[in-house]
Structure 1
Amino acid sequence: MSALPESVAKRPVVLVTGADLAPQALALLDGYNVVYAGKTPTADDIVALCHAHDPVAVIVRYNGVNAAAMDAAPSLKVISKHGSGTDTIDKTAAAARGIAVRAAIGANAAAVAEQALALLLACAKSVTQLNERMHAGHWDKATHKSLELGGRTIGLVGLGAIGQRFAKMCDAMGMKVIGFDPFAKDLPDYIQVVDMETLFRESDAISLHCPLTDENRGLLNASSLSRCRKGVIVVNTARGGLIDEPALLAAVQSGQVRAAGLDSFAVEPLAADNVFKDLPGFILSPHIGGVTSDAYVNMGTAAARNVRSVIEGVEPSAVA
């Protein structure tokens, strides 16, 4: 590999834990030396790159940033998530070192909300099962009945930008929308705020839109699922750790849960021995809810603005 030109080598480094950024995001980082970690960087890869380049900023796409990576980059001032979830960043370690942590809040809200709706409809309308049956030569019109969502209750855990966007879609379909979020304010009148027990008890479908924390890890477990309505649909486009996966498997197999539409998992990529693989009742996608061409640009530019806002001391909205 040839050496970088001196003018480039002297620029402050932004490390991207991925293989690329949208051109619009790169334009916002003009004046910085952008270094990529590749498509599937390990934690050790990120530590090594921090040690080699001493970045002033890390834009997190894949994997995360731990305390060892922070210690390997003494110039690090900001860790900027290319998305909204910051659970892969050790925020306690960052705070102890005076490193800012920023997220691209709302940048992928439309994309993830649409994925949640697709999974909800696929579960209610048996989309993948009927497709497979049709291709196998079957015609199940006389025997199959789908679920009508209009008039039924959707319970949302998390009412941030994504949850509210999804709530609007559900309201438009004639669903009753209830939700739990202790931090949400100024919600539209079609969202009824309830406690978690009410949400479990009254929801015909539950969709998760909250960050993963130590407090809500395993939120949907054997106990909470048993308190839900029989035949509830579960949708998760947030974080896999919110669900006790063996408990959800048992609930689907018993009929307590009608179907589950899942875009995130406790271990990613999906482990070879994941309990949901090759089983009916599960609609699976590879954590791509926020992966659209529009969201790719929105998340990249938001992440770049957050880098510049911390390093240069300007508001993100003021970054052209």
Structure 2
Amino acid sequence: MDAAPVVLITGSDLAAEAVAMLHGYQLVFAGKQPTEAQLIALCQQYNPVAILVRYGKIPAAVMDAAPALRVISKHGSGIDVIDQQAAAARNILVCSAPGANAAAVAEHTWALILACTKSVIALDARMQAGFWDKSTHKSVELEGRTLGLIGLGAIGSRVARAGNAFGMRVLAYDPYARELPPACEAVADMESLLAQADVVSLHCPLTASNHEMINSETLAKFKPGAILVNTARGGLINETALVEALTSGALHAAALDSFSVEPLAAPHRWQGIPNVILSPHIGGVSDASYIRMGTVAAQNILQVLQEHPLEAGVSP
């Protein structure tokens, strides 16, 4: 009896609902934060028909190690970790799960905005150290302030609606947006948004054209004392320039859930900067989104393999 075709999962776990959907396949887990060399070795060993991407990158070398590979399915919406040009050249379809984690990322965005404006972490640390800062501390009030969104897809639109609920003016820059949420104003260019926004939040995919679009030049156009939040992709920000803006006081604070190199090494550049809040790229992972991302990624694999079966003579 022939062995079941293999689906390689670049992680150590997958929602039980997604595992059940892939019952006809052998699932091989690559473990936490697999390296390119490890993925190549697993592809050479198992020759998977599909790769379900949780962590790490999928370059051409990984694809070449799996001749039977038909589909690469992202556990989430960001496919910049996959060499899409290489996949297209090899007739490998690339899929994602757009919107599956939109609620989770939008909620995490607001957790970070509120942590910055209300000094949640700093005040907790002072309380734990025995201080009572009631007579000296003043938080930033959001009502009447301006929220600037760069990117207005499923996540950005949710963040916009919450901004309205807080009584904020909401501006958005997204040349690809087809429609705006209620009470959201479009701006013609990013510079106009940066000059007006008290809080700037990034919600766009990472592309070659917007790599490090937040840099020393654009940071100089921010409103003095603004807050920057990034729950999108680390490559959107020049981290050296952001460190300078934070340490100089040009920005009030920043909150980052994504970084140019992940995971962060220790020590890293953000240690010792009191006005930055960090989380380990978990904005899109909640109890509910974990299931949605897994099941959509699995369904994408099943659909592609049904529509594009292996050619005769090619065995997984």
Residue in structure 2 matched with residue 258 of structure 1 by the alignment: 252
Whether 1:111 and 2:104 are equivalent positions in the alignment is yes
Structure 2 distance, partners of 1:123, 1:219, is 22
1:270 aligns with 2:268: no
Out of 129, 138, 143, which is 1:136 matched to? 129
Deviation at residue 253 of structure 1 after TM alignment:
1.4
Identity %: 56
Deviant stretches of 4+, over 4 Å: none
Equivalent position to 1:16, from 6, 9, 31: 9
Name the TM-score, length of structure 2 as normaliser.
Answer: 0.94
Alignment deviations for residues 158-196 of structure 1 (CA, whole Å, 9 cap, x no partner)? 111111111111111111111111221122232212121
* 1:240-280 C-alpha deviation (Å, 9 max, x unpaired): 11111111111111211100011111111112242211221
Q: How is 1:171-320 mapped onto 2 (pairs within 5 angstroms)?
A: 171-194=164-187, 195-313=189-307
Deviation, 1:83, is: 0.7
Give the stretch that moved more between structures: 216-225 or 272-281: 272-281
**Aligned mate of 1:26, from 14, 19, 39:** 19
Partner AA of 1:55 in structure 2:
P
SS in 1 for 2:228: strand
Give the 5 Å matches for 1:51-90. 51-90=44-83
Q: Deviations over 1:18-75 (max 9, x none)?
A: 1111110011112111111111210111111111111111000010211011111111
Q: Provide Cα deviations, 1:188-227, integer angstroms capped at 9, x if missing partner.
A: 2322121211111111110011111111111111110111
Cα distance in 2, alignment partners of residues 100 and 255 from structure 1: 46
TM-score of the aligned structures, taking structure 1 as reference length: 0.93
Name the Cα RMSD after superposition: 1.2
| Ranges in structure 2 where 5+ consecutive residues have no aligned partner | 309-316
Report the AA paired with residue 256 of structure 1: A
Give, as a single letter, the amino acid of the residue that structure 2 aligns with 1:90: D
Tell me if structure 1 keeps the 8 A contact 2:63–2:69.
Answer: yes
| Aligned partner letter, 2:200 | I
Q: Decide which of 25, 28, 31 is 1:35's aligned counterpart.
A: 28
Amino acid at match of 1:163: G
Aligned residues: 307
